[in-house]
A and B are shown apart, each in its own frame.
Chain A
Amino acid sequence: MKNIFIIIIIAAFGVMLYPLFEDFSGNDELSELASFYAQKENVEKVNSANLVTAVVVTYRGLDTLGEVTILFLAAAIIAFSLRKHSVERDLRRNSEIFKTASKVLIPIIMMVGVYIFMNGHLSPGGGFQGGAVLASAVILMLLAFPNIPFNSKLFAYTESISGLVFVGLAAIGALIGSGYLDNAILPLGTFGELLSAGAIPVIYSFVGLKVGAELSNILNEFQSVQSDN
């Protein structure tokens, strides 16, 4: 009975979505906004090959700041609300093969992660993806070597420093550049090179570090909370 009601609701929801579908006609060309981003003179103002990155870090950098903040918040909330309960660590022993493989894989994964966020302005990927990859290395570490003390302080500092650098660069943009998060406070460099696009790679790298640290922290909290009771 109740489900019938919900079916009706969902159906009605579908009816509500239908006009969106009906008036959707695909895109034949870019919106005025996107064209602006893609125009040569504007691309050169930012000088980032990956336009998505340009949008994420510069044009809509404030969103990214918020996004980073959300992860930061999630990590903080998880930290203070789980802290009360976490005690011992699960001391299951893992197989040697897994451990050895991990020893080899962890640095490689980390390298990949760093690569992804360093090249965010040139190729697909960026701080978030890179950070996630970094975090996966940490997971692997946590799984393989559960009794290695997790240096949460290191991660916390990383996180704080990265965050401060991000905010600091943003503020510097407002102070000496032409606006908050202006990437032109650093030399724009040559289009398509690693050291180009002004502050973008710097910001994105720190975002990567920050995201990595935050995700690691979150995962660590979940890991350490596992066995408490």
Chain B
Amino acid sequence: MEYVALTVGFIVIMAGLWAIMTRKNIIRIIIGFSIFDTGLHIVMVALAYVKGRTAPILDNTVALDDAVNLIVDPVPQALVLTAIVIGLGVTALMLIFAMKLHREKKTLDIRSFKDLKW
């Protein structure tokens, strides 16, 4: 199962990159980033998985003494948690930029924002 997740994660990452590199609409590019992030998260969670184990929460079903052999890796999960929130911040900020770009030129075509070059 983790292999499936990893594969899916990688493909989603590449799909996100594809969107970022080919779509001309800025909103779509930002969606691309969002997809790219999601792919990363899937990969990270897949790496945390340990075959046939349960969530790293030590409640009634998981004995404290034997937790080492029962739970999946909490570390990548914690990292994903952080990454998701960071992703939200980045997305929000990019959208702000998108709005401002649109306000400037009344278009969202990335090709029309080339005032700075060379």
Contact = CB atoms under 8 A, between A and B. Distances in A.
Nearest to A30: B73
Interface of A: 3, 6, 9-10, 13-14, 17, 20-21, 24, 26-31, 33-35, 37-40, 43, 49-52, 54-56, 59-60, 63-64, 66-67, 70-71, 73-74, 77-78, 81-82, 85, 122-124, 126, 128, 191-192, 211, 218, 225
Interface in B18-68: 18, 21-22, 47-51, 55-59, 64-65, 67-68
Contacts of A14: 10, 14
15 contacts: A9-B21, A21-B7, A24-B3, A26-B49, A37-B75, A39-B68, A49-B57, A50-B58, A51-B58, A51-B67, A52-B81, A81-B96, A81-B100, A123-B57, A128-B81
Given A60-B78, A74-B89, A74-B93, A52 B56 contact: yes
Interface of B: 2-3, 6-7, 10, 13-14, 17-18, 21-22, 47-51, 55-59, 64-65, 67-69, 71-75, 77-79, 81-82, 84-86, 88-90, 92-93, 96, 99-100, 103
A55 B10 CA distance: 26
**Interface secondary structure of B, over-half rule:** helix
B68 A55 contact: no
Contacts of A70: 85-86, 89
A54 to B, nearest CB: 7
A12 B9 CA distance: 17
A61 to B, nearest CB: 10
Contacts of A191: 58, 64
B78 A52 contact: yes
Contacts of B89: 70-71, 73-74
A26 B51 contact: yes
Given A55-B74, A70-B86, A71-B88, A30 B68 contact: yes
- Chain A facing B: main interface SS: helix
A43 to B, nearest CB: 6
Contacts of B67: 38-40, 43, 51
B17 A10 contact: yes
Nearest to B60: A192
A39 B20 CA distance: 43
A74 B68 contact: no
Pick from A10, A21, A27, A43 the residue with the most CB of B within 10 Å.
A27
